[in-house]
Structure formats: structure tokens, C-alpha cells
A and B are shown apart, each in its own frame.
Chain A
Amino acid sequence: MPAVEVTAVRKAFGQVKALDGVDITVGQGSLTALLGPNGAGKTTLVRIIATLSRADAGTVRVLGFDVARQPADVRARIGLTGQYAGLEELLSGRDNLVLIGRLAGLRRGEALRRAAELAASFGLASAEGRLVRTYSGGMRRRLDLAASLMTRPSLLVLDEPTTGLDPGSRRQLWAALMDLRAEGTTMLLTTQYLEEADRFADLLYLLNHGKVIASGTPAQLKASTGADATLDEAFLALTGNTTETP
């Protein structure tokens, strides 16, 4: 059973077709990346998979559960790191983690233990008692990722997790994500950093104008453009040098 199975999904906002018959499959334990110009439909798709939005047509199944009919079952099994940090600025890092863990169903003792464990894993142990508003951008992003891992989700959904981070923070975040992959966590992410997708993803889906225009491993996508093509060159060739979908 795939971790995510998206079939013929359509979604429009007024006259704008955000998704126009999208099919994707995410295998269990894999790291799959959605690529595409701004406005291609990546975030819309991720939001539907994470039960935050509803498709106009088509089906989405996450770990065997239909996101429209069984959203509670889906929510119990996924972790989401959205584009904007889902954190309370006026609480400490520890309090944020414990709150999210408890709302996800953990008992207080479990939430405290898990929060301490994740703070240590993400290099936040010395700052876990500080208010989040005193954190740097990289620390917030790592805390946000830690928050989505409080219940050890089977599927981690990440919407541009490294956007806006400096190279050091990006490296730290990717190290954490690679640890998770090694433990078998399935990950679906969107990113604008093609070199990250090239280096870390098992499978890529390239979206443009709400459609999947190419898919495959990074090597397959590059090879489709030319023998020595980079992923940047493949991206530009496949999207027709589109910078943004209107």
C-alpha cells in the first residue's frame, strides 16, 4: 500500500485551476519531492493531503484512509510542517512541543519525555525553556519540524521546509530529515531548492499549471533533458522557462 495515492485530483479557486487532474504516488519510506514554479499547485496539493483543504474532484488516500471521508484517521498518522511556523511565539519551545503533543493525544508525561528527546535531537536542548520569539529563523524551523514529530507520524508532510534559512540551518534541517528517513519515516515535501531535491529525494514530481508534467528519479528527470543536464536545466526545459504560473 502506498503512503499517499492521489488520483485525478482537481481544485479550482474561482476561475483559476490550481490542480487539473493530478496523479501522484508516494511509496512508504520514501522521500518524494514536489517541484514546480510558484503557483504550480504544490502547496494546494500538500494542503489537500494534510486534510486542510478539500479537492473538488478526485481521490486522495493517505496510508489507506480517504482524506475527505476519514480525515481524523489521516490526522492521527501525519505530521505537518507548513510554510509558516505553527508555533506560539509567547510560549517556550518546550511548552510548544508539549502542547502540540498533548493535543495530538499524548499524556503529559509522554509529551514531556518526547519534547525533551526531540529538543536534544534538534540541537534545541539549551534553548527549550526560552520563549520562541527569541529564537532565530533556523531554530524556529527546527522546532516546527520537531513539533510535527511529537507523535512519530508515519507520513511527514513538509511545505518548503528550508525556505529562508541560511546554509548552515538548511544543512542542520536536512541532517535531521535524513535521520528520519533512515528510521523509515515517509516524507513528502515541496521545495524551491532544486539541489536539495536532486541530492535527497527518491522521486520527483514536477508540476506546472496544476498538472504533473514530469516524474521520476532525479537522474531520470535530468536524463530526459540531456546527457549532462543538471536538474536546474531539466526544470527550465520541462516548464518552458516558466518563472511563475499566473
Chain B
Amino acid sequence: MTALTAPAAPIRFRAVRDSALIAGRNLRVLRKNPGRMIFPLVQPVVLLVMFVSVFGNLALAGHGAAGAYRQFLIPGIIIQNATLTAPITGLALLRDASSGLADRFRSLPMSRAAVLAGRAASDAVVFASQVILLLAVGTLLGLRVSAGLPGYAAIAAITVVYGLALAVLSGWFALVIGDPETAERILFFPAIALSFISSAFAPVSDLAGWMQPIARATPVTAAAAAIRAIAAGGPLGAPLAELGIWLAALLLIAGFLAVRRWNAPK
């Protein structure tokens, strides 16, 4: 065996480098197992087409003529699908945590945040593919974005960051639950509940009375409102500020808790 040269100097930007390596690994695994893309890509399109076909021609009180509901519904479905896709990150992280790979990673002198950040980075590709597909199909079904291409790009960017924030939260939840089978059964429930107790499908004022205060204070409502504002070309300040607070809080707090949980000595 030839002698191995140790790195001459400490590696700069180690966290970024290690996260990119983990993300690359996740994407290569995804390429080898394309079946894992069926849920995040095919199911959302089916849901979009079904929801729009069933409810799209309803007239919504205070939202103009029949058909205008599509303009309201499609952003909601985009955010609903990002919400339902987020638990996949938690389950994948837990799969790593429950395998021999976790001990391998933890015994290496790598960044302690890289496994979570790399997972989030590779899942950003999934969220981006999903929203691009949904925007394309949504446009065919009647979605109009007044700002054109920059508007579409802004909606895609918001959806990806929103998906990542919930993905990081699901990562923390999954690591707290600890058991992959239990996590699989538990994680999707709050995602489903969150997407219904919100303005994803109906204005908050039309929801049941007990639901309204909760629905007003969820990130789903904030994200759907931001996308609708972009699509309509309306004022963006308030919806983007509210969403920004949600996303920053989720990414920072849930990210910190998830990294701490991943690295906690057993």
C-alpha cells in the first residue's frame, strides 16, 4: 500500500463541502432507485388534476365567477403537496439514523450538520421538480401568473424554501420518534391536518369557527397567501413578511433541534 497524504491544511468551508457530498450521495441513490420519485412527483399531479376537476368550477363566495376558484385552489394544492412531501425527508433521515451508516458518519471527522443539510439540499431538487411540474400542469388547468416568468420563478423559489423548512421540521420529529415504522405512520398525519386546517382549499373566513384562529396562524396559510399574491400581482409586503418569519423560525429552530438530536451521544 502506498502512503496516504493527509490534507495539508484544514479544509475550508467544511460544512458546505460535507453537505454537498451527502447531497450528492442522496441524489445518486435516487437515480438508482427512481421509484422513490413516484410519490413526490406523480401523486401531486394526480391530486391537482382531481381537485381541479372536481372543485375547479365551483364559484367561491366573494371570489368572482365560477372558474376563479381555480386561481385560488391551484396555489393551495401546490403548497399542500409540498407539505405532504416534507415527511419524506424525515423518513430518509431516520433510515440513515437507524442503519450502520449513522455510526460511520458519526465516527468521521465531518461536519456535524452535514447529514441533515445534505438531505435538505438533495430534497430541494425533489421540491423543485415537484413545483415545476405542478406549475406546468396548473397553468394548463387555468392558473394565471400576472408577472409571467419571474412570477413563476418566485412561486417555485417560495415553494422550495417552504418545503425545506417543513422537511427540516419533519427531520427533527422523525429523530425524536426514533423508530422508522412508527414515524411512517405518524409523520403524515400532521402534514395532512396542517394542509386542511389552512387556507389551502378555502378562505379562512369560510372554515368552521373553531378552525379559523388555527388556520390563520399556520405556515400553510402564509405560503398559500404569498403564492396567490404573486400570481395575482397584488401587494407582496405583508404575505412575504409573514411567510419569511415562519420559514426563518422553522429552519433555524427545527434545524438546530434536528442537528442536536442527530449528534446526541447515545
Chain A interface (Cβ < 8 Å from any Cβ of B)? 47, 50-54, 72, 75-76, 78-80, 82-88, 90-91, 95, 99-100, 102-107, 110, 113-114, 117-118, 121, 131, 144, 147, 151-152, 183
Q: Which residues in chain B, 10-29, are within 8 Å of chain A measured between CB atoms? A: 11, 18, 21-22, 25, 28-29
List chain B residues, Cβ under 8 A from A53: 265-266
For the complex, is B185 an interface residue (Cβ under 8 Å from A)? no
Cβ of B17 to closest chain A Cβ, rounded Å: 8
Contacting chain A: which of B95-103, B123-131, B136-144, B213-221?
Answer: B95-103
Chain B interface (Cβ < 8 Å from any Cβ of A)? 1-7, 11, 18, 21-22, 25, 28-29, 32-33, 99-110, 114, 265-266
Q: Which residue of B lies closest to A76 (CB)?
A: B109
Can you list 26 A-B pairs, Cβ within 8 angstroms, ordered by A?
A: A47-B266, A52-B106, A53-B265, A53-B266, A54-B265, A72-B109, A75-B109, A80-B103, A82-B104, A84-B103, A86-B102, A86-B104, A86-B105, A87-B100, A87-B104, A91-B28, A99-B25, A102-B21, A104-B108, A105-B110, A106-B4, A110-B4, A110-B5, A113-B2, A117-B2, A151-B4
C-alpha gap A91/B104 in the complex (Å): 15
| CB pair B265 A86 closer than 8 Å | no
Contact for A105 among B1, B7, B99, CB less than 8 A: B7
| CB pair A90 B29 closer than 8 Å | yes
List chain A residues, Cβ under 8 A from B28: 90-91, 95
Cβ of B37 to closest chain A Cβ, rounded Å: 14
C-alpha gap A100/B107 in the complex (Å): 11
| CB pair B265 A80 closer than 8 Å | no
Q: Which residue of A lies closest to B107 (CB)?
A: A80
| Tally of contacts, chain A with chain B, CB under 8 A | 96
List chain B residues, Cβ under 8 A from A105: 6-7, 11, 109-110
| CB pair A52 B266 closer than 8 Å | yes
Known: A53-B266, A121-B1. A103 touches B106 (CB 8 A): no
List chain B residues, Cβ under 8 A from A107: 7
| CB pair A85 B100 closer than 8 Å | yes
List chain B residues, Cβ under 8 A from A80: 103-104, 107
| CB pair A51 B29 closer than 8 Å | no
Cβ of A154 to closest chain B Cβ, rounded Å: 11
Q: Which residue of A lies closest to B105 (CB)?
A: A103
Cβ of B137 to closest chain A Cβ, rounded Å: 30
List chain A residues, Cβ under 8 A from B102: 86
List chain B residues, Cβ under 8 A from A75: 107-109
List chain A residues, Cβ under 8 A from B106: 51-52
Cβ of A57 to closest chain B Cβ, rounded Å: 14
| CB pair B103 A88 closer than 8 Å | no
| CB pair B18 A84 closer than 8 Å | no
Cβ of A79 to closest chain B Cβ, rounded Å: 8
Cβ of A1 to closest chain B Cβ, rounded Å: 20
Cβ of B71 to closest chain A Cβ, rounded Å: 41
